[in-house]
């Protein structure tokens, strides 16, 4: 028997986590260490800006932001 694949939603969460880490890493030179507080605040701000950007895009396209999932594609 082979290894069972994780669910699509779990893979999406892991993918998002990797993207957030990449953005955090590229935001600062490697020689500077982030404090825990700076790291948490950056992740919160990044999450908020992604959410705001998603809502702006959806409103431009004429959709109610609550109706559509993040991964949904549009024609």
Summarised one tens digit per residue, pLDDT across range 45-67 is 888 888 888 888 878 877 665 55
**pTM surpassing 0.75?**
no
Average pLDDT over residues 5-32: 68
Per residue, what are the HEC states of the chain?
CCCCCCCHHHHHHHHHHHHHHHHHHHHCCCCCCCCHHHHHHHHHHHHHHHHHHHHHHHHHCCCCHHHCCCCCCCC
């Amino acid at each position: 028997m082979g290894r069972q694949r994780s669910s699509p939603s779990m893979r999406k969460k892991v993918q998002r986590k990797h993207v957030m880490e990449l953005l955090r890493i590229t935001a600062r030179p490697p020689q500077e260490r982030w404090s825990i507080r700076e790291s948490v605040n950056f992740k919160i701000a990044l999450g908020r800006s992604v959410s705001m950007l998603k809502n702006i895009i959806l409103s431009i396209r004429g959709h109610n932001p609550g109706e559509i999932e993040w991964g949904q594609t549009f024609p």
